[in-house]
Amino acid sequence: MEKDTVLILSGGIDSTTLLYEYQDKIALAVSFHYGSNHNDKEIPFAEYHCNRLGIKHITIPLSFMKDYFQSSLLQGADAIPEGNYDDENMKSTVVPFRNGIMLAIAAGFAETNGLHRVMMANHSGDHAIYPDCRPKFVDAMGKAIEAGTYEGITLETPYTNLSKADIVKRGSSLGIDYTQTWSCYKGKEIHCGKCGTCRERKEAFALAKLADATQYEE
């Protein structure tokens, strides 16, 4: 299988699973450091898995987002809400048009390197909270990327309609060590266990009926 794809890789559960599932297609994985509380925790995991699989990895700094955009994700651990992973509780963590910016850059990398696809690991649990994870956005952005590149680069988002539990099941069958991934938006030494992304992580393993080896504060 030809390696013709750029993957946006955060170092979290979803994109790491995508990395392993489609490793035969991925020529380049790109992480973005945009100044969030947890970028320094998750990006080393992205590097780790790419090194393990022999896939080229690069990290692109997007410091302007922290300087000019408004989001609790960019304001330190204390600004992150605790509680359920739902639209009202997690709305403050939205980084405006984050995925649009990242996808535009990934498309540029694809065209520059003669690659034909861009992949992103959004899933169904993101839809209520993040506008730039929803099918309507993905469809529109895919059309924009295809129309705006000479080679008609395509956007693939195979997890759009999957739950996080579905993704964990897939990754478990692939033998992924999920202790080598990061979810917590607070970005402390270990997962806090209380913020929305930690609670979503716990719930995904529970619904998948799989043991969660993640170390949590509580």
**Edge to edge, what strands does the sheet with 117-119 contain?**
56-61, 26-33, 5-8, 117-119, 154-156
36 in a domain, yes or no? yes
43 in a domain, yes or no? yes
- Residues 54-103 have pLDDT tens digits of 999 999 999 999 999 988 888 876 677 775 655 555 677 888 899 999 99
214 in a domain, yes or no? no
201 in a domain, yes or no? yes
212 in a domain, yes or no? no
134 in a domain, yes or no? yes
Q: What domain range includes position 177?
A: 5-207
- Residues 168-217 have pLDDT tens digits of 999 999 999 999 999 999 999 999 999 889 999 999 999 999 999 999 99
pLDDT at 216: 97
Give how many domains the chain has, as a whole number: 1
Strands (E), the chain: 5-8, 26-33, 56-61, 117-119, 154-156
The CATH number linked to 171 is 3.40.50.620
Q: Are 169 and 16 in contact (CB under 8 A)?
A: no
Q: Are 182 and 192 in contact (CB under 8 A)?
A: no
CA dist 164 and 183 (Å) reads: 12
pTM (2 d.p.) = 0.93
37 in a domain, yes or no? yes
Structure tokens at 113: 């390197």
217 in a domain, yes or no? no
CA dist 46 and 130 (Å) reads: 22
| DSSP symbol at 92 | G
